[in-house]
Chains A and B, each alone.
Chain A
Amino acid sequence: MLKISRALLDRIVAHARADHPDEACGVIAGPAGSDTPSRFIAMINSARSPTFYEFDSMEQLAVWREMDDRDEEPVVIYHSHTATQAYPSRTDISYANEPGAHYLLVSTAEPDTEEIRSFKITDGEVTEEDVQVSDSAE
C-alpha cells in the first residue's frame, strides 16, 4: 500500500497537468526505511515527449546525491501517461530499477479527471497496490 498525503498527490497532479501533453515525472523522497513520502521533487523530462520520459542524467545525480546526504530514499517515482491509462507499460517495467520505490502513475488522458494508480515493480513483475490518501498538510 502507498500512504501519501492529499497535498503531495495534488502537487503530482498539478505537475502532470502543467506538462500535458508531455509526460511529467518526478520523485517523492522520504526518510530511508520509512516508506513515507515527504519531499516533492519535480524532475525534468529530458525526452520532453508525449510518449516517453527520462530523468535528465545530471539532475538525477544531483537529486540522488542530495537524498543520500539527507539519509533519504526515493519512496515514490511518479510519471504521467497523457493519452493512455495509468498502468505501467512495457518500457515502464523495463526501466523500473529502484526496487523499494512505489511507482505512481497519473493519466491525464481525460481533461476533467485523473486516473491515479500505484504499483510495485520488482524483477519485471507488476503488483498494483492501494493508495491511501491522508488529509495531513504534508
Chain B
Amino acid sequence: MAIEVRIPTILRPLTGGSKTVEGKGDTLDALLADLDARHSGLRGRLIDDSGGLRRFVNVYLNDEDVRFLGGLTAPVKDGDTVTVLPAVAGGYI
C-alpha cells in the first residue's frame, strides 16, 4: 500500500500527465520529497523558498486542509489520500 496523491490539472505536466501518483513517507514533508525524486519540480510548486507550504496552494489530507493538521509536519500513512488544488483567487489589483 502507499499514499495516493491527487494532482491538479496545472501540475500534471510534472507527472507525465497522471492525475494521481503514489508515494511514501511518515509526514507530508517526507511524502513530497519522495514524490519529487520521481516527479522533479513537484515539491517546489507546493513549498516556497522559506520552506513553508505556498499560500495559494491547498493541500488536503483525506477530508481536511493540512493547514489545520500541522502543515508539512502532518503525519501521513499508507492508505491516506492527499489532494492538491491551486487556490482560486484574485482581486482588483
The interface of chain A, by Cβ under 8 A from chain B, is: 23, 25, 43, 47, 49-55, 57-58, 60-61, 64, 77, 79, 81-84, 88-100
Decide yes or no whether B46 CB sits under 8 A from chain A.
Answer: no
Q: A61-B60, A64-B85 are in contact. Are A99 and B90 (CB under 8 A)?
A: no
Decide yes or no whether B89 CB sits under 8 A from chain A.
Answer: yes
Inter-subunit contact A52/B65 (CB<8 Å)? no
| Bound form: Cα–Cα A89–B86 in Å | 18
The count of chain B contact residues (Cβ–Cβ below 8 Å) is 19
- List residues of B (36-59) whose CB comes within 8 Å of A's CBs: 56, 58
Decide yes or no whether B87 CB sits under 8 A from chain A.
Answer: yes
The interface of chain B, by Cβ under 8 A from chain A, is: 8-10, 56, 58, 60, 63, 65, 67, 83, 85-93
- Residue among B9, B89, B92 making CB contact with A55, cutoff 8 Å: B89
Inter-subunit contact B90/A79 (CB<8 Å)? yes
Contact sample, A vs B, 26 pairs, CB 8 Å cutoff: A23-B92, A43-B88, A47-B89, A47-B91, A51-B91, A51-B93, A53-B89, A53-B91, A54-B87, A54-B88, A55-B89, A57-B58, A57-B65, A60-B58, A60-B87, A61-B58, A81-B92, A89-B92, A91-B93, A95-B86, A95-B88, A97-B10, A97-B86, A97-B87, A98-B86, A98-B88
Inter-subunit contact B92/A25 (CB<8 Å)? no
Inter-subunit contact B90/A95 (CB<8 Å)? yes
Q: Which of B8, B9, B67 has the most CB of A within 10 A?
A: B9
Contacts of B91 in A (CB 8 A): 23, 47, 49, 51-53, 89, 91-92
Q: Which of B83, B92, B93 has the most CB of A within 10 A?
A: B92
